[in-house]
Amino acid sequence: MSCLFCRIVAGEIPARRVYEDDDLLAFEDINPQAPLHVLVIPKAHVATANDLTEAHDALVGRMVRRGAAIARERGVDGSGFRTVINCNAHAGQTVFHLHVHVLGGRPMAWPPG
Ligand code: 5GP
Ligand code: ZN
């Protein structure tokens, strides 16, 4: 298994897990860009947002809602947070297993660089 995040799901690579159920895993980003920087991923491998189908709609909805729940747990729901899915080169995707970044705890600029 070569996919980094599949290996985290399998427990072959350690991660600071913050949430887990049958379908989703959330863990702290190894290189946090904000006081809160958690990645929410599906346990089943999906490479990019381009690979999503209608069959994934409920899963993606749950990923986004889980991000909001984690933001609430960390107390940044009121101040605000950002959820990001990078897809392919122009967006800077580096790990090709779908993930939602959940960032918060500081003001963030818009538009992104
Ligand atoms: P991307 O650039 O693909 O949207 O985001 C990939 C994210 O995965 C980056 O924020 C990076 O810091 C994080 N990351 C890469 N390798 C690891 C790892 O081994 N463990 C954890 N926890 N995060 C990782
Ligand atoms: Zn994978």
Is the Cβ–Cβ distance between 99 and 39 less than 8 Å?
yes
Residue 73: C-alpha distances to residues 36, 66, 82, 87, 104 (Å)? 11, 10, 15, 27, 12
Give the residues surrounding ligand 1 with Cβ less than 6 Å away. 4, 13, 15, 27-31, 39, 86, 92-95
pLDDT at 113 over 90: no
Active site positions, annotated:
99
User: pLDDT digit string (tens) for 37-87?
Assistant: 999 999 999 999 999 999 999 999 999 999 999 999 999 999 999 999 999
Ligand whose nearest atom lies closest to the CA of 83: 1
- Does this model's pTM top 0.85? My answer is yes
Would you say residue 1 has pLDDT above 80? no
Q: How far is CA 10 from the centre of its chain?
A: 17
